[in-house]
Amino acid sequence: MEGVFRIACRESQGEAEVLFLEGRLGLEDLPWLRRELGGLPPPGDRVLDLGGLGVLEAGAAAVLLRWQAEAAAAGRRLLWRGGPPPVRGILDLHEGLPDPRALRPAPCRRGMLDTLGRATLQLVRDCGEILAFTGALTRAVLRTLRRPSEMQWRGIGGLVNRAGMDALPIVLLINFLIGMIMSFQSAVQLLKFGATVYVADIVSLSMARELGPFMVAVIVAGRSGAGFAAELGTMKVQEEIDALRTLGFDPYTFLVLPRILALAFVVPLLTVLAVAVGTLGGMVTAVARLDMAPAAWWNEVHSTMSGWDLCGGLIKALVFGATIGSVACMRGLATRGGAEGVGRSTTSTVVTILFLLVLLDAVITALFFQFEIGM
d(CA 322, CA 98): 51
60/204 same-domain check: no
Q: Stretch 182-192: mean pLDDT, rounded?
A: 88
Answer with the residue of higher pLDDT: 365 or 152: 365
**Predicted confidence band of residue 107 (pLDDT cuts 50, 70, 90):** low
351: domain range?
124-370
The count of structural domains within the chain is 2
Q: Please tell me the total number of residues recorded for the chain in this structure.
A: 375
177/310 same-domain check: yes
Answer with the residue of higher pLDDT: 275 or 106: 275
- Is 287 domain-assigned? yes
- Is 199 domain-assigned? yes
- Least confident range from 17-26, 42-51, 343-352: namely 42-51
pLDDT given at position 194:
81
333/238 same-domain check: yes
What DSSP string runs through 255-314? Answer: IIHHHHHHHHHHHHHHHHHHHHHHHHHHHHHHHHHS---HHHHHHHHHHH--HHHHHHHH
- Is 187 domain-assigned? yes
In this structure, how many other beta carbons lie within 10 angstroms of the beta carbon of residue 14?
Answer: 8
**Predicted confidence band of residue 131 (pLDDT cuts 50, 70, 90):** very high
**Residue 334 above 60 pLDDT?**
yes
Looking at 39, 72, 102, the residue that finishes a domain is 102
- Is 375 domain-assigned? no
Q: What is the tens place of the pLDDT at every residue in 44-60? A: 677 888 888 888 888 78
192/308 same-domain check: yes
292/235 same-domain check: yes
Q: Stretch 259-286: mean pLDDT, rounded?
A: 95
97/178 same-domain check: no
Q: Residue 68: which residues within 8 A CB-CB, separation 6 or more?
A: 78, 79
- Is 54 domain-assigned? yes
77/162 same-domain check: no
Q: What is the tens place of the pLDDT at every residue in 299-333? A: 999 998 888 889 999 999 999 999 999 999 999 99
Q: pTM for the complete prediction?
A: 0.71
- Least confident range from 16-30, 126-140, 240-254, 329-343: namely 16-30
**Residue 355 above 90 pLDDT?**
yes
pLDDT cut 70: percent of the chain above it = 92
**Residue 36 above 90 pLDDT?**
no
Looking at the chain, list the stretches that DSSP marks H as alpha helix, in order from N- to C-terminal side: 30-36, 58-73, 85-95, 100-103, 112-146, 153-160, 168-190, 199-206, 212-220, 226-237, 240-246, 251, 257-289, 294-304, 307-333, 338-370
Taking all residues of the chain, what is their mean pLDDT, rounded to a whole number? 86
pLDDT given at position 139:
93
Looking at 102, 136, 159, the residue that finishes a domain is 102
**Predicted confidence band of residue 248 (pLDDT cuts 50, 70, 90):** confident
270/362 same-domain check: yes
- Is 358 domain-assigned? yes
**Residue 267 above 70 pLDDT?**
yes
CATH number, domain containing residue 92: 3.30.750.24
pLDDT given at position 96:
59
155/302 same-domain check: yes
- Is 112 domain-assigned? no
210/340 same-domain check: yes
The alpha carbon torsion through 188, 191, 192, 195 (nearest 10 deg) reads 130
- Is 284 domain-assigned? yes
**Residue 359 above 90 pLDDT?**
yes
pLDDT given at position 192:
82
- Least confident range from 38-52, 124-138, 229-243: namely 38-52
**Predicted confidence band of residue 98 (pLDDT cuts 50, 70, 90):** low
**Residue 353 above 90 pLDDT?**
yes
